[in-house]
């Protein structure tokens, strides 16, 4: 523990990274405690420009409607739906918070960041059709998914997804599910709205082009040393609480803190690319999000999908993502990121994960080596009449999957999110990726409860939390009537009816 006689400004909250996670946490804390002093540090020249920007993520409001990897098939043929139910409830919580912000006029109109786009799952072949039917039978019994439709009828599927069903290359035995409640989200636009609200409040300061170079204990607080990337000028700030929400850059920053809870964590970077359609006639024919099954051995972020998107006011059609490998932890990071993250405390888990995931490594290498014709062949499975001239490559975002110690295997690779909190709750970091931004509100609620436990129990914070999120403290999974009421409210407020 260090001490100093220098006079350093003291703030209540430091947010590292100006993406959707920091923006969500900062907004919630400022509403809960208007007097909080908050500083936000972002290494880029704009907010939400890394993982949150539209082209760097799927833009899907993840709610378990179409993502087949959330519903694994068991050895007896049944389908496990627990993860889909959890993510569906978490997305309902996110929609409630966004609806509260819209209703309170704290952020711009919802049409700027969210719109209704049906979510579909599409498969072919007898085994996959049987799986999808079993998935539909399991999900549709629950009130979250009671409006799900299922069909193997080519005539109906022709109406739902003409682009996929047209052409001589279409598959004979096919099936699809459809949820009209699906959404497309521009998380970059949402982030900008949240940051705009935050910076309009007193005692909130945003510093762009600012890199955090040191995080260390100073008595009961944290001393954050930052550097202006353009000028090289350095300064320090003391904070009672620190949140590291820097996407792929969170792991190195967490390691800088030196907290015991950071030991043993590592990162496995996975990059991605899209094929983006440039033919307006083709774009106009596809108005849904269609998710398929991931190839065996591929990471969850590589689940193929043909997506209708609205990006910067323009209708877009994307296919992918095609997975790849880069040693960068951020799209605008350094090729040395992976190597710098290797420490004595995590080298064994990293080695074990490497040995246990050789097929994944081979898959990523094969993806990197794909030719334009290889990418076109993958697209033609979903759009048989696709022409290479109608599509261009676009680099997607960089994701860092979590590697953590395991008592039996030494180390395991996880594809979800991990919230790492110090024993005293004074510093926290978010590691991992999917489902990420869609469940940001639930993740930040959990973090607030762990790090601000005393305040959360106060009558004032409890009242505000229930005002922000009507279902706070209740279980939408078990309460069909409340879930229906909430969905009606959010559908109206967000204009997605």
Q: Are strands 305-311 and 314-324 parallel, antiparallel or unpaired?
A: antiparallel
Domains and CATH numbers, the chain: 10-450 (3.50.50.60)
pLDDT tens, position by position, 392-445? 998 887 777 666 666 666 666 666 678 899 999 999 998 876 667 899 999 999
Q: Is 354 exposed, middle or buried (0-12, 13-18, 19+ CB in 10 A)?
A: middle
Give the residue, 266 or 223, on which the prediction is more confident.
223
pLDDT score for 4: 46
Supply the DSSP symbol for 60: B
pLDDT tens, position by position, 84-138? 999 999 999 999 999 999 999 999 889 999 999 999 999 999 999 999 999 999 9
Question: Is 363 a residue whose pLDDT tops 90?
Answer: no
Report the alpha-carbon distance of residue 245 to residue 431 in Å, rounded: 8
Contacts of 75 (CB under 8 A, 6+ apart): none
The dihedral over CA atoms of 296, 302, 249, 91, expressed in degrees to the nearest 10, equals -110
Cβ count within 10 A of residue 297:
15
Calculate mean pLDDT across residues 473-490: 96
pLDDT tens, position by position, 32-54? 999 999 999 999 999 988 888 88
Q: At 85, which helix (H) or strand (E)?
A: helix 82-103
pTM of the model as a whole: 0.90
Cβ count within 10 A of residue 457:
10
Report the alpha-carbon distance of residue 201 to residue 205 in Å, rounded: 9
| Nearest C-alpha neighbor of 67 from the set 480, 490, 436 | 436
Contacts of 227 (CB under 8 A, 6+ apart): 210, 211, 213, 233, 234
- Residue 314 in tokens: 């323009």
Contact present, 229 and 209 (Cβ < 8 Å): yes
Report the alpha-carbon distance of residue 56 to residue 35 in Å, rounded: 34
Contact present, 364 and 357 (Cβ < 8 Å): no
Q: How is 356-383 classified by DSSP, letter by letter? A: HTHHHHHHHHHHHT--HHHHHHHHHTT-
pLDDT score for 301: 59
pLDDT tens, position by position, 209-238? 999 999 999 988 999 999 999 999 999 999
pLDDT score for 48: 86
Rg (CA), the chain: 23
Looking at 112-221, list the stretches that DSSP marks H as alpha helix, in order from N- to C-terminal side: 126-139, 154-160, 162-165, 187-199
Q: How far out from the chain centre does Cα 164 lie?
A: 27
Cβ count within 10 A of residue 312:
10
pLDDT range class, residue 350, cuts 50, 70, 90: low
**φ, ψ dihedrals at 132, nearest 5°:** -65, -35
Mean pLDDT over each residue of the chain, to the nearest integer? 88
* CB-facing half-sphere around the CA of 61: CA atoms within 13 A: 29
In three-state secondary structure terms, 410 is strand
């Amino acid at each position: 523990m260090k001490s100093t006689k220098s006079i350093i400004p003291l703030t209540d909250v430091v947010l590292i990274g100006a993406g959707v996670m920091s923006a969500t946490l900062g907004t919630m804390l400022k509403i809960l405690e208007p007097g909080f002093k908050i500083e936000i540090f972002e290494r880029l020249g704009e907010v939400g420009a890394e993982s949150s920007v539209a082209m760097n993520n799927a833009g899907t409001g993840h709610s378990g409607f179409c993502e087949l990897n959330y519903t694994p098939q068991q050895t007896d043929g049944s389908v496990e739906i627990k993860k889909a139910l959890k993510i569906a409830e978490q997305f309902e919580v996110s929609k409630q918070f966004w609806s509260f912000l819209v209703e309170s006029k704290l952020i711009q109109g919802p049409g700027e960041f969210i719109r209704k786009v049906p979510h579909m799952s599409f498969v072919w072949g007898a085994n996959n059709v049987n799986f999808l039917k079993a998935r539909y039978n399991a999900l549709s019994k629950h009130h979250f998914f009671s409006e799900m439709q299922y069909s193997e009828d080519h005539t109906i599927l022709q109406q739902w997804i003409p682009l996929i069903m047209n052409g001589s290359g279409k598959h004979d035995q096919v099936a699809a599910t459809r949820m009209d409640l699906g959404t497309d989200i521009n998380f970059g636009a949402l982030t900008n709205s949240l940051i705009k609200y935050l910076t309009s409040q007193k005692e909130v300061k945003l510093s762009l082009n600012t890199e955090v170079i040191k995080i260390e204990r100073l008595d009961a607080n944290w001393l954050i040393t930052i550097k202006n990337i353009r000028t090289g000028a350095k300064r320090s700030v003391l904070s009672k609480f620190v949140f590291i929400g820097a996407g792929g850059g969170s792991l190195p920053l967490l390691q800088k803190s030196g907290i015991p809870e950071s030991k043993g964590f590592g990162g496995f970077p996975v990059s991605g690319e899209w094929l983006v359609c440039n033919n307006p006639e083709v774009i106009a024919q596809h108005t849904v999000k269609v998710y398929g099954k991931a190839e065996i051995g591929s990471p969850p972020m590589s689940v193929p999908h043909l997506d209708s998107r609205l990006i910067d006011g323009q209708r877009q059609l994307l296919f992918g993502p095609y997975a790849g490998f880069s040693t960068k932890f951020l799209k605008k990071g350094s090729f040395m990121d992976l190597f710098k993250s290797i420490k004595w405390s995590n080298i064994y888990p990293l080695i074990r994960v490497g040995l246990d995931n050789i097929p994944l490594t081979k898959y990523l290498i094969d993806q990197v080596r794909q030719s334009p014709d290889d990418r076109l062949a993958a697209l033609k499975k979903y759009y048989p009449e696709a022409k290479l001239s109608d599509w261009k490559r676009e680099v997607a975002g960089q994701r860092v999957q979590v590697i953590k110690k395991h008592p039996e295997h030494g180390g395991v690779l996880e594809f979800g999110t991990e919230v790492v909190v110090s024993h005293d709750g004074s510093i926290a970091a978010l590691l991992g990726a999917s489902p990420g931004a869609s469940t940001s509100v639930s993740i930040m609620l959990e973090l607030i409860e762990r790090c601000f436990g005393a305040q959360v129990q106060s009558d004032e914070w409890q009242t505000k939390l229930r005002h922000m999120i009507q279902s706070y403290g209740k279980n939408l999974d078990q309460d069909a009537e409340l879930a229906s009421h909430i969905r009606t409210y959010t559908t109206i407020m967000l204009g997605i009816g």
